[in-house]
Amino acid sequence: MLITKNTAIGDRALSSKVELVDKHASALIRGFIKAGVMSCAKHLPGHGNTLIDSHEELPVEEADEARLEKVEYIPFKKAFKSRIDMVMMSHIKFPKLDNQWPASLSSFFIEQKIRNDFRYRGLIITDDLDMKALTKNFDKETIAVQSLKSGNDLLLYCNEPESPQIAHDAILSALAQGTLTKERLQESYLRITGVKKERLTHPDPIPFSEAIKFIGTEENKALAEGLRTGKVTIEKTPEKQ
Q: Which residue of the set 55, 64, 117, 139 is catalytic?
A: 55
Instruction: Report d(CA 174, CA 168) in Å as an integer.
Output: 10
Instruction: Report d(CA 206, CA 143) in Å as an integer.
Output: 37
Instruction: Report d(CA 48, CA 52) in Å as an integer.
Output: 10
Active site residue 127: yes
**Distance spanning both ends of the chain, measured CA to CA:** 45
What would the DSSP string read from start to end of 188-209? HHHHHHHHHHHH-SS-SPPPHH
Maximum separation of any 2 CA atoms in the chain, in Å? 68
Whether residue 102 has a cis bond before it, omega within 30° of 0: no
- 181-190: long-range contacts (C-beta < 8 A, 24 or more apart)? 184/148, 184/149, 185/148, 188/148, 188/152, 188/153, 188/154
| Chain length of the chain | 241
**What SS3 state is found at 43?**
strand
Active site residue 43: no
Could you tell me which residues come within 8 angstroms of residue 191 by beta carbon, excluding any fewer than 6 positions away?
Answer: 121, 122, 123, 153
Q: Which residue of the set 22, 85, 127, 153 is catalytic?
A: 127
Residues marked as catalytic:
55, 127
